[in-house]
Amino acid sequence: MAAPQYVPVPPTDRPRGYASPDHVPAPWRADRPGEIAGPQPEGERLGYQGPDQGYALVLANRLRDRLQVQPGESVDDAVQGCLLVALRRASLFGRAPVIHDLTVAFTVWGFLDASAPAELVEQRRAMFAGVANTAHHYLEGRAIVDQVPEATLRLTHGQVQQAYPARWRELLGR
């Protein structure tokens, strides 16, 4: 390796040059037992994979102060349940989450509306209860995600805002 001119070198040192290693290892291959061959698997309890999903937590926390929860509801439960919906929406498009994924999720469930329909509030109160504790309520979180049809998730956030609250049942596949 070359050294700057100001670095002292003993005059008795031999000049160095490149030398090949004695052994060249075989190329690496993805043939380990845990490797996934092909696309990500799909099925119960596997969720929806996508890039940079942790960024959705940053975005969700930016919307926290705009959330409208009713008595008996928790902001943490609302964030966790809608976060899962937003991640599914982002994965449908094969991209990292953006703010509109979260606004769609919060709008569909009425968390951005102080006067959300009473029937929707009752439904979400039962579904979202305790979801923030993901270790014990994973299946309940999956049920929230599965409640929102793919057709709704493929709408733009503007289309969802126009449809809510008049067609909230349609947005939730009811």
Task: Establish if 26 belongs to a structural domain.
Answer: no
**pLDDT tens string 23-46:** 888 888 777 777 777 777 777 777
Residues 124-144: pLDDT tens digits? Answer: 999 999 999 988 888 899 999
| SS3 label, residue 71 | coil
In a domain, 147, yes or no: yes
Domain total in the chain: 1
Residue 149 resides in a domain? yes
| In a domain? residue 90 | yes
Confidence of residue 65 (pLDDT cuts 50, 70, 90): very high
Would 108 be classed as within a structural domain? yes
pLDDT of residue 61: 93
Shortest CA distance to 161 belongs to which of 169, 171, 151, 174?
171
Query: Do residues 112 and 164 touch, judged by C-beta distance below 8 A?
Result: no
Range of the domain at 112: 55-171
Residue 158 within any structural domain of the chain: yes
In-domain check, residue 76: yes
Measured between alpha carbons, how far is 82 from 171 in angstroms, rounded to an integer?
Answer: 14
Alpha helices in the chain (DSSP H): 55-63, 75-92, 99-108, 118-128, 138-147, 150-153, 157-163, 168-171
Quote the pLDDT of residue 86. 96
**153 has pLDDT over 70:** yes
In a domain, 30, yes or no: no
